[in-house]
Structure 1
Amino acid sequence: MSRVSLEGQVAVVTGAARGIGAQLARKLSARGARVALVGLEEGELRRVADSLHEDAAHWYADVTDHAAMTSVAREVKARFGKVDIVVANAGVATGGPLEDSDPDAWRRVVEVNLVGSAVTGRAFLPVLAESRGYLLQIASAAAFFPAPMMTAYCASKAGVEAYAHCLRAEVGHRGVRVGVGYLTWTDTDMVRGADQDEAMREMRSRLRGPAGRVHPLGPAVDRLVAGIERRSAHIYAQGWLRAMQPARGLLPGLIATFASRELRRLGERTPLPRQGLVGAGGAADEKARAGRSGG
């Protein structure tokens, strides 16, 4: 498709306080978009908003809270007059073997990544239908690359991929386009947090070629922006991921064989799993939930 100019368009980005969300907000703003940032770190959101080129605003909200996100959608429309683009980017992660994992953290990953994406879509679809806009759902190579010790993250990202494909079929007749963004290990706080887990870091380091490499943030986000301009159905933040799609059916068996060998080799050296969510964004999510519960 030909590119759509972002000049004067209104873009909503969830999980916009840091990492992919913050960088995406900056890139969209640099191309003339007015950006609404949504997240759980009010100070960070304000700093990102203040750094943008165009008119911007920020909202403190948990993407799993339907009432809060419905209110955000209403307030963004009132503030900017319309919504053309929504990027459902908010996400968290936890690691470690399922048997020994933190059950609350495991559940929260699914709640934020999958349920939160659906809540975001439900809240903003009415205004996107008005503008015949575009919803970009950030998924991951984890949707088709079933990595050991990442059961919650992989399950949630496979879920959001399927959800976005279903939604595309539901809303296309209303003029709303839906895209899925795929990323692999990208230099963000989440990935740096995951690398603090010795077993996860070592497993990643054993992967060959680009599959085990941490990729720079800037080029990945540039690809996302180009896909947004084209209203693409699929956006690959690292180009080699596109080539992996035809091999999806083979990956679970290949990865299981590789992982069995590597986990057997790690054996007793495998450390205790990390408790809770990884990275600064995960810490912010846990802090926000503790504050709401009074804990």
Structure 2
Amino acid sequence: MAADSPLRNRTVVVTGAARGLGAAQAHALARRGARLALIGHEGTALQAVAAALPAPALAVEADITDEEALGRAADTVRERLGPPSAVVANAGIAEGGPFATADMASWRRVVDVNLVGSALTARTFLADLLRTEGYFLQVASLASIGAAPMMSAYCASKAGVEAFAHSLRAEVAHHGVAVGIAYLNWTDTDMIRDADRYVVLRELRANMPPPARRVHPVEAVAERLARAVERRRTAVYVPAWLRLAQVTRAALPPLVLRRCRRALPRLEAEEPFRPTGPLGAGGRADSGAAH
């Protein structure tokens, strides 16, 4: 453990920590001596992650879109670990496919988890962060900067969380609370591996410029995010070149449009586009919990 980390003996909340990036973040933060509270609706998986950490951690089952359940989870965190000094809004789901044939209940669920769930997470723990002059990290995406076809709900939700985090930062900065945004490219999680099973999603990624199509190891991404929490970063880009996308973001929609006009007709001729349903084990678990 990092004896000199500012997170040592501080309570840190991570949502969506049952697997993937959330679980990897839990490990990276625990190595820094943080007291971890893991929140999500997969209780057994959360407990398994907590048990594997190098220090005792608290696993609390709650759906982040359920305000009352999230409030009860927060009460448990305060009682067992004390008020959080940092909260990482990591929970997220995705689905792919053409908007014209999307199941709108599933489409809304993506927005509800990714955007509304993140806002409820911030709202639930905001009093604690004001008390501790803490830090809120919103996990966003390259999709916050440049939207892609076949992922309309995900892109809309990630653009929304970026705007939400900017707004929240301006509201609470004078109280000593810092708000950061993590802009991530493709990360090696079961969500991305599942997306690659669908030809159109795999081919759309393959048509991106070489640096943009690379998939990054989840442990390396989690380590970058843990450092961002330690340093209360306003923004963290993984990989670092994504910062350039911010500067050129106005040019991204025309570029995406031009590439898709060439690629989509060919792909649609090869195989009709169909909705993917929830991607990855986390998305499927959420679908079961939501119904």
Taking structure 1 as the reference length, what is the TM-score of the superposition?
0.95
Q: What does residue range 53-92 of structure 1 map to in structure 2 within 5 Å?
A: 53-92=54-93
Q: What does residue range 132-171 of structure 1 map to in structure 2 within 5 Å?
A: 132-171=133-172
Aligned to 2:258: 257
User: Partners of 1:184 and 1:33 in 2: how far apart?
Assistant: 26
Aligned to 1:213: 214
Aligned to 1:246: 247
Q: Any gaps of 5 or more consecutive residues in structure 2?
A: none
Deviation at 1:241?
0.7
**Letter of the 2:174 counterpart:** H
Aligned to 1:185: 186
Aligned to 2:107: 106
**Secondary structure, aligned partner of 1:83:** coil
User: Partners of 1:240 and 1:183 in 2: how far apart?
Assistant: 11
Of residues 84-93 and 269-278 in structure 1, the stretch that sits farther from structure 2 once superposed is 269-278
Q: Percent identity?
A: 50
Deviation at 1:275?
4.3
Of residues 170-179 and 110-119 in structure 1, the stretch that sits farther from structure 2 once superposed is 170-179
User: How many residues matched?
Assistant: 288
Of residues 215-224 and 265-274 in structure 1, the stretch that sits farther from structure 2 once superposed is 265-274
User: Partners of 1:109 and 1:75 in 2: how far apart?
Assistant: 27
Given that residues 26 and 36 in structure 2 are in contact (C-alpha distance below 8 angstroms), is that contact kept between their aligned partners in structure 1? yes
Q: Any gaps of 5 or more consecutive residues in structure 1?
A: 291-295
Given that residues 221 and 237 in structure 1 are in contact (C-alpha distance below 8 angstroms), is that contact kept between their aligned partners in structure 2? no
Deviation at 1:9?
1.0
2:232 maps to 1:231: yes
User: Partners of 1:220 and 1:253 in 2: how far apart?
Assistant: 29
Given that residues 101 and 275 in structure 1 are in contact (C-alpha distance below 8 angstroms), is that contact kept between their aligned partners in structure 2? no
Q: What does residue range 117-132 of structure 1 map to in structure 2 within 5 Å?
A: 117-132=118-133
Q: CA RMSD in A?
A: 1.2
- After TM superposition, the runs of 4+ consecutive aligned structure 1 residues lying more than 6 A away are none
**Letter of the 2:187 counterpart:** T
**Per-residue deviation, residues 18-51 of structure 1 (Å, max 9, x unmatched):** 0110000011001100100011211110110001
Given that residues 197 and 273 in structure 1 are in contact (C-alpha distance below 8 angstroms), is that contact kept between their aligned partners in structure 2? no
Aligned to 2:282: 281
**Secondary structure, aligned partner of 2:33:** coil
Of residues 262-271 and 202-211 in structure 1, the stretch that sits farther from structure 2 once superposed is 262-271
**Per-residue deviation, residues 243-263 of structure 1 (Å, max 9, x unmatched):** 211000110111111111110
Describe the shift of the 1:32–1:42 C-alpha distance in structure 2 as closer, same or farther (beyond 3 A).
same
Of residues 249-258 and 261-270 in structure 1, the stretch that sits farther from structure 2 once superposed is 261-270
Taking structure 2 as the reference length, what is the TM-score of the superposition?
0.96
Q: What does residue range 198-209 of structure 1 map to in structure 2 within 5 Å?
A: 198-209=199-210
Given that residues 199 and 271 in structure 1 are in contact (C-alpha distance below 8 angstroms), is that contact kept between their aligned partners in structure 2? no
Deviation at 1:270?
3.2
